[in-house]
Chain A
């Protein structure tokens, strides 16, 4: 069963009165499906709204991902009570631009959320993301706090390290899931990029993920494999990640990386820190599981 079939399940589920919570077994057939070299696009520019649009061009624009009437989930990193210039969260202008493009492409609804580490209202506010999205207006975009009731248990059949965890229903149900992490340093995993950003849609005691982080993240991404990954490297946090705290650790790159292959996106973004893709455990584990391509020479990189 893949994510799209999940909708049916939900219909059945909420149609009848059930007393036990159902368990969803999700095993995407996508694994190891892509044989052609994945497309990846990189852009540099000061105007982030334009930059997002131009980076998506080589990939076919937003229309290649969002179909009219789609329910779209945009998953930025809103983890910390930090200001945009501190580079701990995804830049609000990028989140806004992606949301606007999704609406333009005909999305019926755009849901934006993250399970934060600091207090959620402070994070949504001070990251600038909620104010930015609220400024768009309209009822299509919902930037709401995570609702604990929406975490549903999922059996991760392809999982090598974890085989059960709860996931956010909205993320599972999305017609199009767009991951927009910010690229930054992380004490344990060295970097946090797209695959790590998936931790924002899972429930439970997330600290446990750290025990075998690389493989665990790859396992989680077999359930939620982003349709599109847009990595915000407009400013990157070089030290004291993942929440930083001082602009002294921040380097402005004005760069955005986008790909439909989450592993390729992470692999390329790693090089922005002067590291090699295989140095990041989650990238390596995900590539091994066939979630995507991490060999840079096998990726079709387009600079815009």
Chain B
């Protein structure tokens, strides 16, 4: 018979936040309004790890991240309930564990690794190197879903309905099309997206889930730096599990603990590992243990030796130094464009947590993750690739969803004059110059007022020896904002004959651009 126990509430809470996570993911899109009416990035804004690293590396308190104080307070009272009751990564891992029958114990403990990772991330961010995006669970999750899972999901569903539409008899597509329509209006993304690094992001996510094969919640126990941070705060928590005196020490509960949080004697819990899943309370035959409020009596031990503590510190100092001498930062990167409203140079790097929200929301699929163009620490930061998608003149969505202000919020009129880059023509390819044939598709699409692309009417002798009247385009640099629609729409095959290069503040910093 179904019994309502504490575990039931925990599961309901997990399902609720998982649903919220997916709902907000879906809502991270253009809705018909210029402003997104929901706090779609809330999971990042209440993430204390994100807040801490941005505070340390950018040396600013980002007010958007204040909700993280709430999670810290929650942890200081109740311990790591966040990991057990809220975190969608934890929930998905629990689900995966069920499916692939994750063992509860693996015999070895790698617990301390997460503290080392946390140490490296925090120390290096103090020296201006932002690494949190590699390991923050929400960054991994949202980015993985944006770059890999969502596009693949859409491809699969479309791949099923498309042949039905194209080749199946009318009566069948008359049934399948409405079903497809309903899916499009509910669970499917608005359109098929394409991303760089989709394979890498997908594999990283897959690997995290595959680790579940080793033991339950492998990621949470051993790797998650957010879990490590919350563990430290949970030292002060006053809501803990206490076995009753009656506990005979049967130890039935200990081997099943998903966090392997029990001491070797099987009675005491390491509170900093406990995620309050309530399994041990519910499963105890005699119900002799329960959670209650009490002042902590047992001092907690963070599983970290002095040596690994120092090691983490040293690594945290060395990595920023190594990144300073990476030639990726001195090499001019003329085509590396940042989103509109992006903070300049270093500040952008230290604020961006590689969460992928901006890439998710971009209505032109224009924002793409960097690979190694800006050093390994720039991996997964957003760049605008106009040939894949241009920046829509009236759109300001990426600045609205960025949780850290790496991309600033722009009003529509600020956006209209924000310089992302500047377009430059290549007359060796541009049709009216190189081919003596009419075109100026770029001029037609240029959205600025006045148009940054103008044309000159000339008469030239073409290859056939005929004199023809032509309109040859040119750029007015002061008017160009580098939205890239010209580069995107240029009808030439392959590279465009007009390309946007870095300009504005970003390029002043690396001494390049114009």
Binding site for B on A (CB under 8 A): 11, 14-19, 21, 81, 117-119, 121-122, 125-126, 149, 186-188, 205-208, 210-213, 240, 242-246
Segment with Cβ contacts to A, from B86-94, B130-138, B269-277, B446-454: B446-454
In the complex, which residues 178-214 of chain B have their Cβ closer than 8 Å to any Cβ of chain A?
A: 190
* Contact A205:B491 (CB < 8 A) given known A118-B393, A122-B392, A122-B394: yes
Chain B residues in 8 Å Cβ range of A18:
167
Judging by beta carbons under 8 Å apart, are A210 and B438 in contact? yes
Judging by beta carbons under 8 Å apart, are B394 and A15 in contact? no
In whole Å, how far is A199's beta carbon from the nearest beta carbon of chain B?
11
Chain B residues in 8 Å Cβ range of A119:
30, 363-364, 392, 395
Chain B residues in 8 Å Cβ range of A149:
162, 165-166
Judging by beta carbons under 8 Å apart, are B165 and A188 in contact? no
Question: What is the CA–CA distance of A259 and B166 in the complex, to the nearest angstrom?
Answer: 36
In whole Å, how far is A218's beta carbon from the nearest beta carbon of chain B?
15
Judging by beta carbons under 8 Å apart, are A240 and B451 in contact? yes
Judging by beta carbons under 8 Å apart, are B363 and A207 in contact? no
Chain B residues in 8 Å Cβ range of A118:
392-393, 447
Question: What is the CA–CA distance of A149 and B181 in the complex, to the nearest angstrom?
Answer: 14
In whole Å, how far is B395's beta carbon from the nearest beta carbon of chain A?
7
Question: What is the CA–CA distance of A244 and B169 in the complex, to the nearest angstrom?
Answer: 46
B8 at the interface (CB under 8 A from A): no
B168 at the interface (CB under 8 A from A): yes
Question: What is the CA–CA distance of A21 and B167 in the complex, to the nearest angstrom?
Answer: 9
Judging by beta carbons under 8 Å apart, are A187 and B394 in contact? no
27 A-B pairs, CB-CB below 8 angstroms? A14-B168, A14-B170, A14-B173, A15-B169, A117-B489, A118-B392, A119-B363, A121-B30, A121-B32, A121-B190, A125-B32, A126-B394, A149-B166, A186-B444, A187-B455, A187-B471, A188-B439, A207-B489, A211-B431, A240-B450, A240-B451, A242-B444, A243-B444, A243-B445, A243-B447, A244-B449, A245-B447
Chain B residues in 8 Å Cβ range of A212:
438
Other CB < 8 Å A-B pairs besides A118-B392, A119-B395, A125-B32, 20 of them? A14-B169, A17-B168, A119-B363, A121-B30, A122-B363, A122-B394, A149-B162, A149-B165, A149-B166, A187-B440, A188-B438, A188-B440, A207-B441, A211-B431, A212-B438, A240-B449, A240-B450, A240-B451, A245-B449, A246-B449
Chain A residues in 8 Å Cβ range of B54:
none
B 381-411 to A, binary, CB cutoff 8 A, 1 in contact else 0: 0000000000011110000000000000000
Nearest B residue to A210 via CB reads B439
Question: What is the CA–CA distance of A244 and B448 in the complex, to the nearest angstrom?
Answer: 9
Judging by beta carbons under 8 Å apart, are A188 and B444 in contact? yes
In whole Å, how far is B497's beta carbon from the nearest beta carbon of chain A?
11
Chain A residues in 8 Å Cβ range of B393:
81, 118
Question: What is the CA–CA distance of A245 and B413 in the complex, to the nearest angstrom?
Answer: 12
Chain A residues in 8 Å Cβ range of B222:
none
B140 at the interface (CB under 8 A from A): no
Nearest A residue to B453 via CB reads A187
B487 at the interface (CB under 8 A from A): no
Chain B residues in 8 Å Cβ range of A14:
168-170, 173
Question: What is the CA–CA distance of A17 and B392 in the complex, to the nearest angstrom?
Answer: 40
B215 at the interface (CB under 8 A from A): no
Question: What is the CA–CA distance of A92 and B181 in the complex, to the nearest angstrom?
Answer: 26
Judging by beta carbons under 8 Å apart, are B449 and A117 in contact? no
In whole Å, how far is A92's beta carbon from the nearest beta carbon of chain B?
15
Nearest B residue to A81 via CB reads B394
Judging by beta carbons under 8 Å apart, are A207 and B438 in contact? no
